[in-house]
Amino acid sequence: MREEFEFFDAETVPWRPDPSAPGVAERILSRGDDGITLTRIARWSPGLDTSAKGVIRHEFHEEVYLLAGELTDLTLGSTFGAGHYASRRPGMPHGPYRTGPGCMMLEIRTVPDPRRHAGPA
């Protein structure tokens, strides 16, 4: 179950380093009790390059909306800026990434509903 909040000023949530991604700071706006589900604003430092981690895959559904800056997908050879959106199913390969000026994004992670993958009853 995800935390519940009425409108609040997101600027009051402090930035903290993302422990799994050096060079990324995050403001976690809400979190689920499953340890995966969350909504956050992520800020990537200028010059950040995730090439060392290679292509990324994860077990959750991820939606990303770029708010500012730009992000280059090194596999696709394309650069995306503010207003670009991505929706990724669990296991979908993406990245690695590089950002010259840095970027800021809204990210929403959700655990897939196991009933949607269970097949016929």
The mean pLDDT of 30-56, rounded to a whole number, is 95
Residue range 13-36, pLDDT digits in tens: 999 999 999 999 999 999 999 989
Q: Has residue 47 been placed in a domain?
A: yes
Kindly state whether residue 76 falls inside one of the protein's structural domains: yes
| Count of domains forming the chain | 1
Residue with tokens 């200028």: 46
Q: What is the pLDDT of residue 35?
A: 87
pLDDT at residue 1, as a whole number: 81
CA atoms of 121 and 64, how far apart (whole Å): 33
Inside any domain, residue 52: yes
Question: What CATH number is given to the structural domain containing 84?
Answer: 2.60.120.10
Helical spans, DSSP H, in 9-63: none
Average pLDDT over residues 31-49: 95
Q: What angle do CA 116, 118, 121 make, to 5 degrees?
A: 110
Mean pLDDT of 57-70: 97
pLDDT of residue 106: 98
pTM, two decimals, is 0.88
* 101 close to 46: Cβ distance less than 8 angstroms: yes
- Count CA within 13 A, CB hemisphere, residue 12: 3
* pLDDT band at 102; cut points 50, 70, 90: very high
Q: Is 104 exposed, middle or buried (0-12, 13-18, 19+ CB in 10 A)?
A: middle
More confident residue, 77 or 119: 77
Would you say residue 16 lies in a domain? no
The amino acid sitting at 86 is A
